[in-house]
Amino acid sequence: MTFEPTLDFARQLDAQDPLRDFRQHFLIPPAPDGQECLYFCGNSLGLQPRTARAAAERQFENWQNLAVEGHFKGETPWMYFHQRLQDATARIVGAKPVEVVVMNNLTTNLHLLLVSFYQPTATRYKVLMEAGAFPSDQYALETQVRMRGLNPDDAIVELTPRPGEYTLRTEDIMARIEELGDSLCTVIMGGINYYTGQVYDMAAITRAGHAVGATVGFDLAHAAGNIPLHLHDWDVDFACWCSYKYLNSGPGGVSGVFVHERFADQPELLRLAGWWGYDDKERFKMKKGFRPMRGAAGWQLSNGAVLTMAVHEAALAEHEAAGGMPALRQKSELLTGYLEFLINRLGLTKQQLEIITPADPAQRGCQLSLLIHHNGRDLFEHLMAVGVIGDWREPNVIRLAPVPLYNTFEDVYRVGEVLAEWAARQ
Ligand SMILES: Cc1ncc(COP(=O)(O)O)c(C=O)c1O
């Protein structure tokens, strides 16, 4: 599409947008002037669906009216609540329902999966991850490695971009995997890097990891609900993600887990167990000896967080109603492309502002990461002061993410205007 830098053009795109009505399904916070803010932070915390509160309230009512019997009675018995999320979750990540479960929070799930899928031996014990992965992932890996009696400096191998580059080249990732060969136990990377917004080639990384006998998993915090995923077909071993970013399920919302179907019937696979992972037909017989449920459900520990799962169910319904990832992705590429177009025409040098997210739409999702070498924090404060909500990532990046469910082309145009005023002062 040929973009134009005018309000009329942006409004024309909004008028043609098949998802235009979905913005009304979300609550948009006010800007300092009392008008709706320009919310570009769905990569950090997605907006609240209007249906979320009522969904939680229905469970408060069940708790009020049914109390303990709510586990088995009412329209949505709590004992099986997680199953209500299974089909939509599977569609979002390209999985079979048996391969997914919703439980806990993201870092907890990452640890649980690493217990099963990072099983080092004396010779095969290395973990490959991207340098500058989200800190929680770094800490998870560091402590997992220590728990196995290994030294993180030796066991963790980090992938860094080439000098002068910000993102990783797939061929360099492949080469590193091959080089590590028999010593590589597990590859664990973000599906999308939180800082640069780069999408990694998950299919290629999985193939390469498997070719040397390693397990391969992804932290999909920035990918789930943002880009199309095909975890089953890509043959990924394990993955986990949060629901509060592009899945709009509220702060601290429940996390999703994927375990490939080939592990579904391996009860002997090492794991940390709890009663909710126990065969649900026998669970209340309270027997000795752990017998896991089939598939990802066998990794559950505790009874489900129904209040947050109820919100998640309401939010997933919005994604489904919008047509799921294919429809969202179509709009997303245009929205982010329009933002990129408006930034590129500011006429700034790379020393002033540089988009470090790949220009190739196939290698990015909603987010653009703007590297501002000097006084970036001033620009960020200015954006916030005029009602543009993005986020700041140390040491010098502003992340802006137009989200297809609720952002408009006019939002993008208006952010472009704010940036143009700032650029004129540089
Ligand atoms: C890529 C990534 N991994 C892990 C986390 C940590 O998530 P949680 O606090 O839900 O464990 C985040 C949080 O934003 C994240 O962006």
Q: 115-150: per-residue pLDDT in tens?
A: 999 999 999 999 999 999 999 999 999 999 999 999
- pLDDT (mean) for 373-391: 93
- For ligand 1, atom 14: residue with the closest CA: 44
Q: How confident is the model at residue 109 (pLDDT cuts 50, 70, 90)?
A: very high
Ligand 1 near 242 CB (within 6 A)? yes
Q: Please work out whether the CB of residue 196 comes within 6 Å of at least one atom of ligand 1.
A: no
Is residue 19 within 8 A of residue 404, CB to CB? The reply is yes
Which of 136, 194, 312 has most ligand 1 atoms within 8 Å of CB, for mutation?
Answer: 136
pLDDT attached to residue 283? 85
Look at residues 252, 284, 319 and tell me which one is the last residue of a structural domain: 319
What is the band of 169 on the pLDDT scale with cuts at 50, 70, 90?
Answer: very high
User: 3-class secondary structure for the chain?
Assistant: CCCCCCHHHHHHHHHHCCCHHHHHHEECCECCCCCECEECECCCCCCEECCHHHHHHHHHHHHHHHHHHHHCCCCCCHHHHHHHHHHHHHHHHCCCHHHEEEECCHHHHHHHHHHHHCCCCCCCCEEEEECCCCHHHHHHHHHHHHHCCCCHHHHEEEECCCCCCCCCCHHHHHHHHHHHHHHEEEEEEECECCCCCEECCHHHHHHHHHHCCCEEEEECCCCCCCCCCCHHHHCCCEEEECCCCCCCCCCCCCEEEEECHHHCCCCCCCCCCCHHHECCCCHHHCCCCCCECCHHHHHCCCCCCHHHHHHHHHHHHHHHHCCHHHHHHHHHHHHHHHHHHHHHCCCCCCCCCEECCCCCHHHECCCEEEECCCCHHHHHHHHHHCCEECEEECCCEEEEECCCCCCCHHHHHHHHHHHHHHHHCC
- Ligand 1 binding pocket includes 253 (Cβ within 6 Å): no
Q: How many domains does the chain have?
A: 2
2 lies in some domain: no
| 225-274 residue pLDDT tens | 999 999 999 999 999 999 999 999 999 999 999 999 999 999 999 999 99
Predicted confidence at residue 69, as pLDDT, reads 97
pLDDT surpasses 90 at 286: no
* Same structural domain, 153 and 178: yes
Q: Is the pLDDT of residue 308 over 90?
A: yes
Residue 242 Cα to ligand 1 midpoint, Å, equals 7
Q: What is the pLDDT of residues 45-80, one digit of tens each?
A: 999 999 999 999 999 999 999 999 999 999 999 999
Q: Are residues 208 and 349 in the same domain?
A: no
- Of 208-217, 235-244, 282-291, 314-323, the one with minimum mean pLDDT is 282-291
Residues in Cβ contact with 284 at an 8 Å cutoff, skipping those fewer than 6 apart? none
| CB 411 near ligand 1, within 6 Å | no
Rounded distance from Cα 67 to ligand 1 centre (Å): 33
* CATH number, residue 396: 3.90.1150.10
> Mean pLDDT across the stretch 264-292?
93
Q: Residue 285 has what pLDDT?
A: 86
Please tell me if the CB atom of residue 245 comes closer than 6 angstroms to any atom of ligand 1: no
100 and 171 in a single domain? The answer is yes
Same-domain status, 265 and 329: no
158 and 292 share one domain: yes
pLDDT band at 281 (very low <50, low <70, confident <90, very high): confident
Report whether residue 219 contacts ligand 1, using a CB cutoff of 6 Å: yes
Last residue of a domain, one of 319, 334, 352: 319
Q: What is the per-residue pLDDT for 58?
A: 98
Residue 313, domain member (yes or no)? yes
Q: In terms of domains, do 302 and 202 share one?
A: yes
Looking at 273, 291, 319, which one is the last position of a domain?
Answer: 319
Predicted local confidence at residue 138, as pLDDT: 98
Q: How far is the CA of 380 from the centre of ligand 1 (A)?
A: 22
User: Quick one: 63 and 169 in the same domain?
Assistant: yes
Is 269 found in the same domain as 377?
no
Residue 175 has pLDDT above 90, yes or no: yes
- Give residue-wise pLDDT tens across range 198-207: 999 999 999 9
Cα 221 to averaged position of ligand 1 atoms, centre (Å): 6
Question: What is the percent of the chain where pLDDT is above 90?
Answer: 96
User: Residue 42 — very low, low, confident or very high, per pLDDT cuts 50/70/90?
Assistant: very high
Tell me the pLDDT of the chain averaged across its residues: 97
If asked whether residues 407 and 366 sit together in one domain, one would say yes
User: Among 108-117, 371-380, 388-397, which range has the highest average pLDDT?
Assistant: 108-117
**Are the C-beta atoms of 317 and 292 separated by less than 8 Å?**
no
Specify if 261 maps to a domain: yes
Domain hosting 334: range is 7-48+324-424
pLDDT number for residue 282? 86
CA of 395 to the centre of ligand 1 (A): 19
Does pLDDT of 96 surpass 90? Answer: yes
Residues 270 and 365 in one domain: no
- Are the beta carbons of 242 and 106 closer than 8 angstroms? yes
Q: Are 315 and 328 part of one and the same domain?
A: no
Q: Is 190 in the pocket of ligand 1 (CB under 6 A)?
A: yes
Sign of CA dihedral 334, 40, 93, 194: positive
Distance CA 223, CA 264 (A): 24
Q: What is the pLDDT of residue 312?
A: 98
Instruction: Look at residue 284 and tell me if it is in a domain.
Output: yes
296 pLDDT higher than 90: yes
How much of the chain exceeds pLDDT 70, in percent? 100
